[in-house]
A = this chain, B = another copy of it.
Amino acid sequence: MTAVPIRDDQRQSSPQVEAAILEAARDLLAAGGVDGLSMRQVAEQVGVSATAIYHYFEGKQDLVNRVVLQAFERFGSYLQNAMESHPEGSVARVSALGEAYLRFALENQAYFRVLFSIQPKDPAVFEEVPEGGGFHLLRKAVSDAIEAGTIRNASGSPGTCEGVTIPKHPDLISMYLWSTAHGLVTLALCGASDRCECGGVPSVIDLYRSFIPLIAEGITARPVGREEPEKRGEQT
């Protein structure tokens, strides 16, 4: 169906049309992912012909990228919000960040899917993301916690944080925490986590909460007596 001709007095000016396109694209993207977004559908929803979009965007990929950029901003403020309700330097703040990460992903699945679709997308997209799309928040929270002494310094050997208090690279711990939360929610979203009942833990959030003691204290047996934990061998 061709778009109904727009009378001049209701013809939208360019920035409004662009915004309307972005909004329509966002809805379609959130509803059905990249495949669910079609130029013609966007156009129809805006009340404009499909090719008009090409006046504002270079193509579908560009349109998607722009929406993703907006989504990252929303994602960032969502995380920030969740973080600020816990004291600076606390482990609670770090773990709340993780929980918010999960919650956002679960509540905006199609959105999240697009954000982190395992595609070799333009690195430019990520580069334009303001402040790393939440990663800087995590990094900050981890840094604060290290400084507050609630999280150990990754740069040192286990326990050698006695004299040395300078956190060299909280990036490592941040990346580690990011991986865990992201992996969990990713597996959950593709249905893979159903393979593991995990003793009847029902929701992904609960599963994540069950991870926390493991993350905090590690998984190796710390024997009450004195038992040599077996060393990791080196392999190819």
Inter-chain CA distance A218–B153, complex, in Å, is 11
Interface size class of A (residues with CB under 8 A): 35 or more
Q: Given A92-B232, A117-B190, do A218 and B218 touch, yes or no (CB 8 Å)?
A: yes
A90, closest chain B residue (CB): B230
Contact, CB under 8 Å: B221 / A161: yes
Contact residues of A between 103 and 122, Cβ < 8 Å to B: 109, 112-113, 116-121
Contact, CB under 8 Å: B232 / A200: no
A158, closest chain B residue (CB): B217
Q: Is A15 an interface residue (CB 8 A)?
A: no
Q: List 6 A-B contacts (CB under 8 A).
A: A120-B190, A135-B192, A172-B207, A179-B183, A179-B187, A183-B186
A residues within 8 Å of B by Cβ? 33, 85-86, 90-92, 95-96, 99, 109, 112-113, 116-121, 123, 126, 132-133, 135, 139, 149-155, 157-162, 164, 166-169, 171-184, 186-187, 189-201, 206-207, 209-224, 226-235
List 4 tightest A-B contacts by C-beta distance, closest first. A167-B199, A183-B183, A159-B227, A218-B218
